[in-house]
Structure 1
Amino acid sequence: MSRAKGNLAEDKACKFLDENGFMIIERNFYSRFGEIDIIATKDEVLHFVEVKSGLDYESAIQNITPQKLSRLLRTGDVYMKKNSLDVDFMYDAIIVTPQDVELVDNITI
């Protein structure tokens, strides 16, 4: 996916989060392990959000591979340590298709 398409999907995801009571803390946090697309809070819980887009839900969600999830978890750990955080947190995904934007809670289960 091109960076422009990725940015558009992330913009849609941020709008969706904002409309659903989340507060965006940071976008595109990088560590040596990878990137977290969006970091947000809601109800005193920190959410590390992976944004995936595709023509349909299935093609987008399949791009969250075990390797991608592992990098996401390690990057989240770096963020927590770097910011000396001791808070509740979870890893979520937002699936962006031409028809819909959908939040998938707690993708690590």
Structure 2
Amino acid sequence: MSREKGRVAEDKATVFLEENGYEIIERNFYSRFGEIDIIVRKERVLHFVEVKSGDDYESAIANITPTKLSRIIKTANVYMKKHNTECDFTFDALVVTLDEVVLVENITL
């Protein structure tokens, strides 16, 4: 996926999250382990959101591999230590296709 397509998908994801009551905390947080696309808060829970886009849901969600999820978890730990954050948190995926935006909460492999 090109950088431009990724940015467009993240912009759509951000609008979706705001419309559904999430407070945007940060976008594109980087650590030496990787990147978290969007960090949001809702009802005192911190959500680390991986945005994936594609022609259909299945092809987009399949790009969240065990290695990718491991990097997200490590990067989230860096974020929480850097910001001295102690709260409930979850790892979510937001799938953006031409037809829909789907939030998948609490992703695991």
For residues 13 and 82 of structure 2, the distance between their equivalents in structure 1, rounded to whole angstroms, comes to 25
For residues 5 and 56 of structure 2, the distance between their equivalents in structure 1, rounded to whole angstroms, comes to 15
Structure 1 unaligned segments of length 5 or more: list them. Answer: none
* TM superposition score normalised by structure 2: 0.98
1:68 aligned partner: 68
For residues 86 and 68 of structure 1, the distance between their equivalents in structure 2, rounded to whole angstroms, comes to 23
The Cα of 1:78 is off from its aligned counterpart by 0.3
For residues 58 and 18 of structure 2, the distance between their equivalents in structure 1, rounded to whole angstroms, comes to 25
**Cα deviation code 1:25-73 (max 9, x no counterpart):** 0000000000000000000000000000000000000000000000000
* TM superposition score normalised by structure 1: 0.98
1:58 aligned partner: 58
Structure 1 runs of 4+ with >6 Å offset: none
1:14 aligned partner: 14
Is 1:39 matched with 2:13? no
Q: Structure 1: which amino acid aligns with 2:74?
A: R
2:95 aligned partner: 95
Say what the alpha-carbon RMSD is for the aligned residues: 0.7
Is 1:49 matched with 2:45? no
For residues 2 and 41 of structure 2, the distance between their equivalents in structure 1, rounded to whole angstroms, comes to 28
- Identity percentage of aligned residues: 68
For residues 3 and 13 of structure 1, the distance between their equivalents in structure 2, rounded to whole angstroms, comes to 15
Structure 2 unaligned segments of length 5 or more: list them. Answer: none
SS of structure 2 residue aligned to 1:70: helix
